[in-house]
Structure 1
Amino acid sequence: MEKTDIMSLDLPELEARLEAAGEKKFRAKQIYKWLHVKRIFDFDKMTDLSVQLREHLKDNFCVNGLFVQKKLESSIDNTVKYLYRLSDGNYVETVLMEYSYGHSICVSTQVGCKMGCRFCASAIAGFVRSLEPSEILMQIYETERNSGVKVSGVVLMGIGEPLDNFDNVVKFLRILSDSSGNNFSLRHVSLSTCGIVPRIYDLAELKLQLTLCISLHASDNEARSEIMPVNRAYNIQELLGACRHYIDRTGRRITFEYAVISGVNSSDKDADRLSDLLRGINCHVNLIPVNKVRERDYHTASSAVADFAKRLGKRGINATVRRTLGSDIEAACGQLRRDAAKRETENGGADA
């Protein structure tokens, strides 16, 4: 009999499983505390449970862990990048970032990505599958264990498109924030999407109080469709309509991410057009120097981002430039996984 991944069960599901096995409902909260508060994954060590229940857990459930395949530590700003190997041999990346207010973690939601954004390394090694709730959650738990720090912010901005893995991501958020477990406030969670419009409407109805970040990256449909194929399905006007609905339903401000790419979207005309698009929307613009990707020739001129920010500011748009972290360890997601996948292909499936 195939065992159930217990870390992917929310509390009501675990309660139902235990009741079906003849156990008291309250036992689920005890188990949840062991798993999500004490971070004990060995059922034999859950000492306030009966031997009979512990045997039932061992016979019917498992904990799918992940393993540190590679760890890079920045000598510039203490950013740490992890390449995690999943139980099926696939890889994902996680980045731990240090700020003055604490530590934030950038987690992956898929093995690879289908979206095909031209400036991103995540899709180069190909899409394999979506992550289970437990595999997203365990990136946080294992990183905290390995680093010895407590994470105060979570960013769903690693490998993959979170809204393309909607059900598992929402379940992960519910498990993460459950008061019987980790009790993490979703106000300290940011979810970044390239703009899958129907799912933005679905997310709005859940009113989760997280921060929605929209990867916009262009101010007109022609340019956005060229660098972000998703725009051919959901254009800028449809996307901004969904964003206005999200703000109305949740009361939350949206962040628009804009990677400034020289010769593509960095002109004064682009800044003026972006200002016109966003005027009247409760938002913040996060400008990003485009990450260097070996297979792409996109770059950002040294002064382009600051000039773009000034132009937006003069037009009344609140914009800041994202601090670049981990530049000496290629902290932008996708590059370690791509290299690991390439090595395995070259070695016939055995990682060197």
Structure 2
Amino acid sequence: MMQKKVLIPAGLVVLAVAGYFGLGAYSSKLAQKKLEDWVYDQNLGDSLSWESVSASPLGGTVTIKGVEFSAAAGSDLELRANRVQLSELIDENNRTRARIKIEGVSASPKLLGLMRQYGSFGGYGMGVAAYGPLLSSGRNELKPFDLTLYVDANDDEGTLESDFSLNLPELASVEIHYGLANLKDFNRGMRRLQDSLDQLRKNPGWLGASLADTGADLESMMGRAELSEVSLSLKDNGLVKRSVALQKRYGTPLDPTAGDADKQRDEYFEKTLRTFGKNCESGLRDSAPKLIDLCEIAVDVANGKSRGISFNVKPDERVRLADLERLRAGGPASKRLVERLNPEVSAL
């Protein structure tokens, strides 16, 4: 009897473990097959490769290791990721949801060279020009970085939520969240657009009338969409500190007769920041007084007194996405819209 009591639970454990790994293997094979089919459908067979694919037993999480993407054969425009993980997956006609986490992303030197051409670090009004984010921080290489993207488009609720985070070692971290409401059939519209793009890719001579109609529908949807919330966090991981040091050293007009060079650099930098702060506040006082604190926080970040900026919007009244165009115009209309957005800013 005692032997039976021991063997029955042990047998159940063995069955459970065998079932777990068996189902896991099945899910992994299914995930591998789906990935291969998707690569074939998108004609990416010569551009995208990976080392392994695995999935959780119920298929809820798919992990792809050793992913490599090449923009064109022999071009040395390549991206590599140590691991890509997909989770929280829903793939239905009325709802699409996915969380994509990409770890250890690195770029080939040639692709990195192209990336340096985009964006310049403004230096909080210090006139830093012609610097890409790397060069302005004194770096000539980009360390492997991580990013996460989450999207949930729900036609039943008429909502769209999205999160994005990017962590660049020794540079900066960014986190963005936004939510939209009053989006009728957005998910179905995106699926129709994908179908039209697939058709156009398979038949380049296709007139694309359906694509134009779908695009117009989506544009109309986005015009009616309402902003429910936005949050943005920018954190300095060394980019600002090193950029300021470079600006002080190479962007300061020195007077050989005025004494200590480092003292001149510090004084010139502080004067530049004070000018920036005053101009910033003056520019926002009439158009967006609720955002004036941004000026002080930006100065504190440049001075090393703060790690970054947090910006949150949660409208207390309806704000359509199309209304945001008024922010460019400035004046009373822009001021009323900013008040309606109900923004909050704080230092990190």
Larger Rg: 2
Name the one with the larger helix percent.
2
Name the one with the larger strand percent.
2
Q: Which has the higher contact order (CA 8 A, sep 6+)?
A: 1
TM-score (norm 2): 0.23
TM-score (norm 1): 0.23
